[in-house]
Amino acid sequence: MRSRSFAALTGAALAAAALAGCSGSDGGGTPASTTASSTDGATVAYVDGVCGAVTSFAGASSTAPQLDAADPEKLKSEMAAYVGRMSDAFATTADQLKQVGASPVAGGDEVVAKLTDTFSRLSGTFADARTAVEKADANDPSGGLQVAGEAIAALTELADPLKEVQAVPELQDAYEKAPKCQQLAKLDELPGSAAPTS
């Protein structure tokens, strides 16, 4: 039973990562020719920086832990390492978002501030989960292992991490042109985006 629960938790994490990767893929219906004259290079570069920061998180989250139901200690170790990687990735993304600079259009600074706060909070949540898992009894599916599940469930906050960006017309136009945003839209195609089996 414990192996199935861990597979489900990890699957939820990877599903959220896949959603993060394709969050803007359905926004490509607007032909580029209709926005080419309305978005300047500075705005595209700004949004590209935002997408670059989020891409670093999405890439890290697509690496699934190796679940071994026959070895509880290894199961615990892999989950601790996984939530630790997630915590580090969240922190890296938050730091990179702080470095994108001032927005060239109204509303951009507020959008990035919200994203930065979300990634910073989740980094702390996953750091706490790593500590709890490391202290947990590997043969007890509750305790620290439950905390890991609760941390992974918090990834629902990232089901569409760039929705705020896409809500600002100038930023949405830039999103469709920014290379790193297009890379982000392709991350759901990574082999690791599928939930592992036990």
Binning pLDDT at 50, 70 and 90, where does residue 111 land?
A: very high
The model's pLDDT over 147-194, given as tens digits with 9 standing for 90+, comes to 888 888 887 877 677 888 888 999 999 999 999 988 877 765 433 333
* Cα→Cα distances 131→91, 124, 144, 198, Å: 16, 11, 8, 24
Measured distance CA(65)–CA(74) in Å, rounded = 10
Distances (CA, A) of 129 to 25, 83, 181: 31, 7, 30
The whole-chain average pLDDT of the chain stands at 74
